[in-house]
Amino acid sequence: MPVLEVRLAPGQRVVSQGGEMSWMSPSVTMSTSTSGVGTSGLGGILRRALSGSSIFLSSFEVREGTGVVAFATKMPGHIKAIHVGAGREFVVSRHGFLAGTEGVTLAVAVQQRLGVGVFSGNGFLLQRIAGEGTAWVELSGELVQYDLAAGESILVHPGHIGLYDGSVTMAIEQVHGVTNILFGADTLFLVRLTGPGSVYLQTLTVPGLAHSLAPYIQPEGK
């Protein structure tokens, strides 16, 4: 699995969602808070909690010397660095945010239920990466990039959305009467992404992987 290792000097800080750290040097100190996760008030905190996302950000820094903190990806794929700032935001998949420098913020961008069995009980969720600094995102499988012109669109299965520019607009469309073999539903949901902006698609999806492995998993009690 790919892993991101960040070397810290005094005064430098990196953040991640709670529980995402894999290992770190003894010189690194960790603290946790809700600051920076787009939780404006109790309503924002509840929204993130109900979406299944962590309501906490963990912060890592060293006070003397240097240190390393590492974040391993959850699936085989790629780690991509992005730079956010004024007028430069990104939207990432539910579990795509790996880590970011101090000043990077994370908030729920899209949350919508797409039918029984689709993305479990929490529905379809995208997160917005904003603020100021560098963020690292994980993309599962191979990475496919499309640079969309203004008004140009692409229809994407929700699970293949990895990352897209904040300038890209999205809309969910239903294709009725088409059986979705991954979810057993009679409605296929697609996401229309419209430029201008870049779209980064991931070839490996969690539902697709689970569907492929299902025949090889022995049911409990048998």
Average pLDDT over residues 173-181: 67
Token reading at 51: 């979406």
| DSSP letter for each residue of 104-148 | EEEEEEEEE--STTTTGGG-EEEEEEEESEEEEEEEESSEEEEEE
Average pLDDT over residues 141-168: 96
Say yes or no to pLDDT of 22 above 90. yes
Average pLDDT over residues 32-42: 55
Per residue in 191-222, pLDDT tens?
999 999 999 999 998 777 777 888 888 666 55
Q: Give domain limits for the chain.
A: 3-216
Compute CA 96 distance to the chain's CA centroid, rounded to the nearest angstrom: 2
pLDDT of amino acid 177:
61
Contacts of 148 (CB under 8 A, 6+ apart): 154, 168, 193, 194, 195, 196, 197, 198, 199
Alpha helices in the chain (DSSP H): 41-50, 206-213
Q: 158: helix, coil or strand?
A: helix
Helix H or strand E segment including 206: helix 206-213
pLDDT of amino acid 55:
63
Q: Which CATH class name applies to 3-216?
A: alpha beta
Say yes or no to pLDDT of 54 above 90. no
Average pLDDT, the chain: 84
Tell me the pTM: 0.81
Sheet-wide strand order for 67-72: 3-8, 67-72, 23-24
pLDDT band at 122 (very low <50, low <70, confident <90, very high): low
pLDDT of amino acid 221:
59
pLDDT of amino acid 211:
75
According to the per-residue pLDDT averaged within each range, which of 51-65, 119-133, 185-199 is highest?
Answer: 185-199
Under 8 Å between Cβ of 21 and 71 = yes
Alpha helices in 17-102 (DSSP H): 41-50
pLDDT band at 112 (very low <50, low <70, confident <90, very high): confident
Beta bridge partners of 138: 79
pLDDT of amino acid 97:
96
Average pLDDT over residues 112-124: 57
pLDDT of amino acid 212:
82
Q: Which position has the higher pLDDT, 158 or 56?
A: 158
According to the per-residue pLDDT averaged within each range, which of 29-43, 50-64, 108-122 is highest?
Answer: 50-64
CA distance 183 to 203: 18
Phi-psi region of 36 (alpha: psi -120 to 50; beta: other; left: phi over 0): left
pLDDT of amino acid 96:
94
Say yes or no to pLDDT of 27 above 80. yes
